[in-house]
Chain A
């Protein structure tokens, strides 16, 4: 018999009432109305656990670290009662060929019925040998594990976009998952790392509603990635008022003014930080005084300094932003016009002189 999430909660001494409360909290955190709570409750009570293979490529494991910080649901409940996390080299008991055997078993036994979660990405240079698993390139393991998967979750900016190892000059040719696996539905959950509760919400959404969340054009769940940090930032009134932190620890910093001038990328970053916030809703980068660095956006490493408002434009060299380029060009054109005017005037004077003489 498979144990359901509800069984677990009951045995933990959790009353039916608090269980239902949990379900409505989950519904709320998923951005769903309270009417969805019974659906969630039903799902939690009856579902067997969905097999998951969680692979790691080139990455830093911060996505896993974030995942274990989830407060609702607790990660212990996710792992013991919601999913069957059959392969995850960071926490699994077995190693070596006993570990590798699990991938084969799941791929064969659960054709089309398991989820492949990917943290990190495959490097393609050097025949993929910048990331080796079982003596072979990681990209082979990835392709094999994807072959029978129902869908893929690309955790974090590594799997979704490439992230830090793909920053210029991307020495290993680290490549996001969707560019390697092109024949499976892929849910991107970007962020470096993504918020824990967003990660577990995506998982519970799939389990609860037996479908994938609605995605935007870039493959991200709309429920968490359809607005910018800036749209829901609690410092927004200071932005609108024109009240900015001008230097670290100045008067404005101590009053919680807007961090726009310190390079905040909130206006260009789609993520749920300013609403869901981090570590159980405690804070998020801006609340703790540092601008958003845009960590859930494609290529955010290569957009210029984290403390500059204006982006670098690489075609013009590493340190050039739109103002530098534009002002320089306008300056040149302006100077040319002045020079041209001067020559014109001289010429006209001379021509007039010619006519008069």
Chain B
């Protein structure tokens, strides 16, 4: 069975990639994916802002301690967003299994395929203005898949694991977070402070991912041969020409 499928008006699975393209619109991002994408984006935004403020708090408030709970609220927002992100991520994994073929693309980059790597090189060349035209893909281009997989999936796993390890410290010895995360993550890093440091550093990794990702999304919307941003709202990918798809992915 082919690993490539093109959707049509109805989300369909496992449609042979060899099928000729009969229209300039493909249904790529199913509604749950789109919903997840935007919730996740908001959660991460919240996490980055609150995380930064946890490490470098706002100027002090005066008055009685019992009158305020600023740091508490910031941390609460961080943890609430964190759990939304975690649940979303678990759901996203589930959807990678039950959703359409595009839903698992960023989880399973075909790293064993030379053609895919060649596609990455081609994409890099496109971004370096070395080729005139980008190739045409239904899902992510190979470079995007690469970035999504390593720059998003694994970074997210890292943030979740270290985040839960930190959470377990406050939740205490008897919490599941401590048992399943803190208990081995902290010794692995050496000590608690190092876990904070690398969790914090990973935030910057995520910030960089988002900068590149959003820039690329906007740019590709304008410069490439297919729709981008709008696809994440509608689910449909519009192609600006009728030329055939690239087959390396």
Contact = CB atoms under 8 A, between A and B. Distances in A.
Interface residues of A, number: 54
A313 B200 CA distance: 11
Contact of A343 (B61, B129, B187, B215): B129
Interface in A282-317: 294, 297-300, 303, 309-311, 313
Contacts of B208: 329-330, 333
Contact of A323 (B62, B190, B200): B200
A38 interface: no
Given A217-B184, A348-B223, A330 B61 contact: no
Contact of B207 (A251, A260, A297, A330): A330
A327 B187 CA distance: 28
A238 B173 contact: no
Interface in B161-210: 169-170, 172-173, 183-184, 187, 190-194, 196-198, 200-201, 203-205, 207-208
A217 B170 CA distance: 17
A136 B131 CA distance: 72
B61 A298 contact: no
Interface centre among B193, B194, B215 (most CB of A within 10 A): B193
Interface stretch (A59-67, A173-181, A198-206, A223-231): A223-231
Nearest to B192: A268
Interface in A209-247: 217-218, 222, 226-228, 231, 237-246
Interface in A129-145: none
B68 interface: yes
Contacts of A323: 55-56, 200, 204
A251 B63 CA distance: 11
B205 to A, nearest CB: 8
A188 interface: no
Nearest to A299: B190
B226 to A, nearest CB: 16
A333 B212 contact: yes
Contacts of B61: 241-243
B204 A311 contact: no
B172 A330 contact: no
Contacts of B170: 231
Interface in B11-64: 55-62
B70 interface: yes
Interface in A340-356: 340-341, 343-344, 347-348
Contact of A269 (B56, B127, B192): B192
Nearest to A338: B215
B60 A334 contact: no
Interface string B124-151: 0001010000000000000000000000
A163 B108 CA distance: 45
Interface in A255-276: 257, 260-261, 265, 267-270
B1 interface: no
A349 to B, nearest CB: 12
**Interface class of chain B by DSSP:** helix
A337 B215 contact: yes
A121 to B, nearest CB: 17
B200 A322 contact: yes
A260 B187 CA distance: 23
A341 B219 contact: yes
Residue in A222, A226, A337 with the greatest tally of chain B CB atoms within 10 Å: A337
B55 A310 contact: yes
A238 B65 contact: yes
Contacts of A242: 57-58, 60-61, 68-71, 74
Contact of B56 (A252, A309, A311, A337): A309
24 contacts: A218-B187, A227-B173, A237-B65, A238-B65, A241-B67, A241-B70, A246-B59, A261-B57, A265-B193, A268-B196, A299-B190, A309-B55, A310-B200, A313-B201, A322-B198, A322-B204, A323-B204, A326-B201, A326-B203, A326-B207, A329-B204, A329-B208, A330-B211, A337-B215
Given A227-B172, A242-B69, A344-B219, 19 more contacts: A222-B173, A228-B192, A240-B69, A241-B70, A242-B61, A243-B62, A243-B68, A261-B57, A265-B193, A268-B191, A269-B192, A270-B192, A294-B191, A303-B193, A313-B197, A326-B201, A329-B204, A330-B207, A330-B211
Interface of A: 217-218, 222, 226-228, 231, 237-246, 251-252, 257, 260-261, 265, 267-270, 294, 297-300, 303, 309-311, 313, 321-323, 325-327, 329-330, 333-334, 337, 340-341, 343-344, 347-348
A-B interface, 10 closest residue pairs, ranked by CB to CB distance from nearest: A326-B204, A242-B70, A241-B68, A268-B192, A322-B200, A268-B193, A240-B72, A237-B65, A311-B197, A337-B215
